[in-house]
Amino acid sequence: MEIVETAAGCRDLLNGARALGRTVGLVPTMGALHDGHVSLMVRARAECEVMAVSIFVNPLQFGDPEDIAAYPRTLERDLVVCSEAGVDIVFVPGVTEMYPSWPSTVATTMSVTGVSERWEAASRLGHFDGVATVVAKLFAIAGPCRAYFGEKDFQQLAVVRRMASDLSLPVEVVGCPTVREADGLALSSRNVRLSGEERAAAAVLSRALAAGRAAVDDGVRSGAALAAVMRLVVDGEPLVHLDYAVAVDAGDLVEVGDVADPSSVRLLMAAQVGPVRLIDNCAALSRREVRQLERTMS
Ligand code: PAF
């Protein structure tokens, strides 16, 4: 496994791999790697001949200085995780490697209108511009590849897909299923900041999503009714303060009034639990049902 700190070094290694006819997989991360990240690496390892992981805590996507200061940094352990997952190249740039003008303003940034402006945007001003900017840079450094992102950050995935498509970037964006704890809590690097009580309470998000999905299965088609079902479940957990629970179109993330086609609808939620803002989401149909639907349609 090679560890590179410069963009030029990373680009040279990946250009070299492609020159030998090898396909490249990229897993962008901010470190503090957990099994969710490992699942992205496993998928990339299976589908690509050379796998690169980037580890960079991107200051542009944090609004609150306290949030970035509290973000877990576990580089030594992360490198062990990468090595065990069969990563070929780990790109670990410093902040001035990515943003040479830092800490002065970064003059050129990326903005994806529409999909960036909803849900998480209301409480995280500029967050998706920061994500889009760093991901555009990582794509420019990596070159043609498949890039793997978790569905847990569903809005982020939608923003990245839209950017790659609008800018004709030579990158295939691959969304991968959320990995969950046994009680349903979606894995996140932020979970370590929850107290024992908060951690137990946080599982209510996945229970609320499951209730929303069950309501769709039972024939509920009103977006507002699905939101109410999810809200009701969260209301039963006093440590969890719901921000939003909505049924949205899975492509542009606009709230749907009526769930005409559950296979194109996503249920999204966000809540504050102690010091941590948690997000979660699921398809309005289970994967099994989506597969069944695809079989009937083909
Ligand atoms: O999901 C993350 O860890 C980050 O937002 C990403 C995509 C690596 C960009 O910094």
Beta strands in 156-264 (DSSP E): 171-176, 240-249
Q: Which has more confidence, 63 or 144?
A: 144
pLDDT digits (tens, 9 = 90+) for 185-244: 999 989 999 999 999 999 999 999 999 999 999 999 999 999 999 999 999 999 999 999
Q: Starting at the earlier edge strand, list the strands of the sheet with 89-91.
A: 2-4, 89-91, 50-55, 24-29, 145-150, 171-176
CA of 152 to the centre of ligand 1 (A): 11
Query: Which amino acid, 297?
Result: M
- Note if 241 is an active site residue: no
Ligand 1 touching residue 155 (CB < 6 A): no
Nearest protein Cα to ligand 1, atom 9: 131
Cα–Cα distance for residue pair 26/206, rounded to 1 Å: 28
Residue to mutate, 40, 58, 109, 141, ligand 1, most ligand atoms under 8 Å from C-beta: 58
Residue 182: partners with Cβ closer than 8 Å, 6 or more residues away: none
pLDDT digits (tens, 9 = 90+) for 73-118: 999 999 999 999 999 999 999 999 999 999 999 999 999 999 999 9
Q: Is residue 3 helix, strand or coil?
A: strand
Q: Which domains does the chain have, with CATH numbers?
A: 2-176 (3.40.50.620), 189-297 (3.30.1300.10)
Q: What pTM, to 2 d.p., does this model score?
A: 0.94
For residue 292 the two structure tokens come to 């069944």
Nearest protein Cα to ligand 1, atom 5: 131
Residue to mutate, 134, 148, 163, ligand 1, most ligand atoms under 8 Å from C-beta: 134
pLDDT range class, residue 297, cuts 50, 70, 90: low
